[in-house]
C-alpha cells in the first residue's frame, strides 16, 4: 500500500465552571505511515516552555566528572588489545572507551569534548564530526572481530533526556538485538518493499518533498524532515541518508553534512527555549535493500519544571502512546529557516 498520512480530528466538550458556556478542545489522532503506531496531537491549550536553571547542577558535577580531561585517562577503562590495541580511540577531542554499564557485549562511551558543559549553541562542526567519526571507528574495530550486525548510536543531552552526566557524551554499541523500535521498522519496511518494490524511506522522502508540510531541507547526502508521528512533545526531526543501509557505510562527506545540519538544529532548539534532547541513529545490515540509515532527534523538556515533572507519563511509558503539544508541520516551518546544507 502506498504511503498514507492518516489523521483524525476529535473534539472534547466541556462546560466552563465560571460562565456555564460549553466549549470544545480539538485533539488529533495520527498513525505512523510505516509502522501504523498511533500518536496524538493534544495538550496544546496553554502549553509553553519554562526555562530551567542548570547552572548549579553543572558546577556541582564539574569537580568529580570522569570525562573531563584531567581525569579521563586515569579513571576510564581501556578496551582489550584485540579490539583496540591502544586501549582507547581518540579522534580530535573525542575519546572512546568501554561502557562500565554496558548495553550489550560491545558497548562504549564517547566523551565528545574537553569542555565539561557545552550549550546547544556551542556544538561546533569539529566537535560533532569527530565524535560521530569516533563511533564509526569503534564499530569497525568491533566488527573486524565479530559478526554482530547492528551498530547503533544514541545521545542523551542533559537530565531531561535521561542523561546521567553533564559532560557531553554519546553511547555506541554493537548488537544482534537492535531493540523494539528498529525491529518494528525493519519488519514494516520489508513488508512495504515486498508490496511496492521500493524502499519505504526513499518513497517517504519523495512524498514529503512533494507535500512540503514536514520537509525541512535536502543536502547532497541527507534529507531533513519532521516526523508525522513524533515521540517528543515538540516534534522529532528525522534525518534520512537515502543511499546508506548501515552506519559503517557512512562516508566522511555523509557525516560532515549530518553534523552541519545537526549543529544548526541544536542552535535553533536553543532559540526556541529547548534545553535537552535525545538522538538515535538507526542502522540495519548491508543485505537490507529495503532499509536506509536515519537519525531521530527528539527534544525533551520538563512539563512542569517547578516540580521536575517530566514529559514522559504513563501514556508514553506504559501504553506506548506518544503525544505532541506542537504539530510536526509547525515545527518544520520554524526549523526550515535555520538549516542551510
Residue 233 per-residue DSSP state: T
CA 251 to CA 249: how far, in whole Å? 6
Torsion (CA) 176, 181, 183, 187 in degrees, nearest 10:
-160
Sorted by where each begins, the domain ranges of the chain are 6-41, 55-336
Number of separate helices (H) and strands (E) present in the chain:
8, 16
* Pairing of β 38-41 and β 322-324: parallel
Instruction: Say what the pLDDT of residue 44 is.
Output: 67
Reported CATH class of domain 55-336: alpha beta
Residue 157 per-residue DSSP state: E
Three-state secondary-structure class, residue 257 = helix
> For residue 205, what are the CA distances in angstroms to 55, 101, 181, 243?
40, 37, 20, 12
pTM beyond 0.85: the answer is yes
Q: In the structure grid, which three cell numbers stand for residue 335, read together?
A: 526549523
Instruction: Say what the pLDDT of residue 304 is.
Output: 84
Closest Cα partner for 111 from 76, 61, 60, 149?
76
CB burial of residue 157 (10 Å; 0-12, 13-18, 19+)? buried
How many residues are listed for the chain in this entry?
A: 341
Decide: 16 and 23 in contact? Cβ < 8 Å: yes
* Pairing of β 223-226 and β 215-218: antiparallel
Q: pLDDT tens for the chain, 341 residues: list them.
A: 789 999 999 999 999 999 999 999 999 999 999 999 999 998 766 788 888 999 999 999 999 999 999 999 999 999 999 999 999 999 999 999 999 999 999 999 999 999 999 999 999 999 999 999 999 999 999 999 888 899 999 999 999 999 999 999 999 999 999 999 999 999 999 999 999 999 999 999 999 999 999 999 999 999 999 999 999 999 999 999 999 999 999 999 999 999 999 999 999 999 999 999 999 999 999 999 999 999 999 999 998 888 888 899 888 989 999 999 999 999 999 999 999 99
CA 130 to CA 293: how far, in whole Å? 19
Query: What one-character-per-residue DSSP string does 65-124 give?
Result: -TTSTTTHHHHS----TTT-TTSSEEETTEEEEE-SS-SSSEEEEEE--S-S---GGG--
What proportions of the chain, in percent to the nearest 5, are helix, strand and coil?
A: 30, 25, 45
Q: Which residues face 111 on adjacent strands?
A: 95, 169
Q: In the structure grid, which three cell numbers stand for residue 307, read together?
A: 516540580
Amino acid at each position: 500500500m502506498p504511503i498514507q498520512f492518516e489523521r483524525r480530528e476529535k473534539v472534547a466538550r466541556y462546560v466552563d465552571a465560571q460562565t456555564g458556556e460549553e466549549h470544545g478542545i480539538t485533539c488529533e489522532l495520527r498513525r505512523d505511515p510505516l509502522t501504523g503506531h498511533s500518536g496524538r496531537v493534544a495538550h496544546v491549550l496553554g502549553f509553553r516552555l519554562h526555562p530551567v536553571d542548570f547552572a548549579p547542577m553543572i558546577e556541582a558535577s564539574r569537580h568529580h566528572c570522569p570525562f573531563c580531561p584531567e581525569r579521563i585517562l586515569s579513571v576510564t577503562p581501556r578496551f582489550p588489545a584485540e579490539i583496540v590495541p591502544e586501549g582507547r580511540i581518540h579522534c580530535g577531542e573525542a575519546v572512546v572507551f568501554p561502557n562500565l554499564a554496558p548495553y550489550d557485549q560491545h558497548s562504549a562511551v564517547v566523551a565528545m569534548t574537553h569542555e565539561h558543559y557545552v550549550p546547544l549553541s556551542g556544538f561546533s562542526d569539529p566537535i560533532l564530526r569527530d565524535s560521530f567519526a569516533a563511533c564509526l571507528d569503534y564499530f569497525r574495530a568491533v566488527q573486524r572481530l565479530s559478526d554482530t550486525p547492528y551498530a547503533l548510536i544514541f545521545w542523551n543531552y542533559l537530565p531531561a533526556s535521561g542523561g546521567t552526566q553533564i559532560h557531553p557524551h554519546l553511547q555506541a554499541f554493537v548488537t544482534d538485538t537492535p531493540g523494539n523500535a528498529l525491529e518494528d521498522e525493519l519488519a514494516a519496511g520489508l513488508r512495504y518493499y515486498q508490496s511496492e518494490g521500493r524502499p519505504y524511506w526513499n518513497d517517504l522522502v519523495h512524498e514529503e518533498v512533494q507535500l512540503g508540510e514536514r520537509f525541512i531541507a535536502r543536502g547532497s547526502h541527507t534529507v531533513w524532515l519532521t516526523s508525522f508521528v513524533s515521540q517528543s512533545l515538540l516534534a522529532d526531526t528525522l534525518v534520512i541518508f537515502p543511499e546508506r543501509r548501515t552506519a559503517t557505510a557512512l562516508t566522511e562527506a555523509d557525516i560532515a553534512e549530518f553534523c552541519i545540519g545537526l549543529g544548526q538544529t541544536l542552535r535553533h532548539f536553543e532559540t526556541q527555549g529547548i534545553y535537552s534532547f535525545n538522538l538515535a541513529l538507526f542502522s540495519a545490515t548491508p543485505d537490507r535493500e529495503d532499509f536506509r540509515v536515519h537519525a531521530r532527534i527528539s527534544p525533551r523538556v520538563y512539563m512542569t519544571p517547578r516540580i521536575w515533572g517530566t514529559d514522559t507519563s504513563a501514556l508514553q511509558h506504559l501504553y506506548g502512546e506518544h503525544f505532541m503539544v506542537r504539530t510536526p508541520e509547525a515545527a518544520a516551518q520554524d526549523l526550515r529557516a535555520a538549516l542551510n546544507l
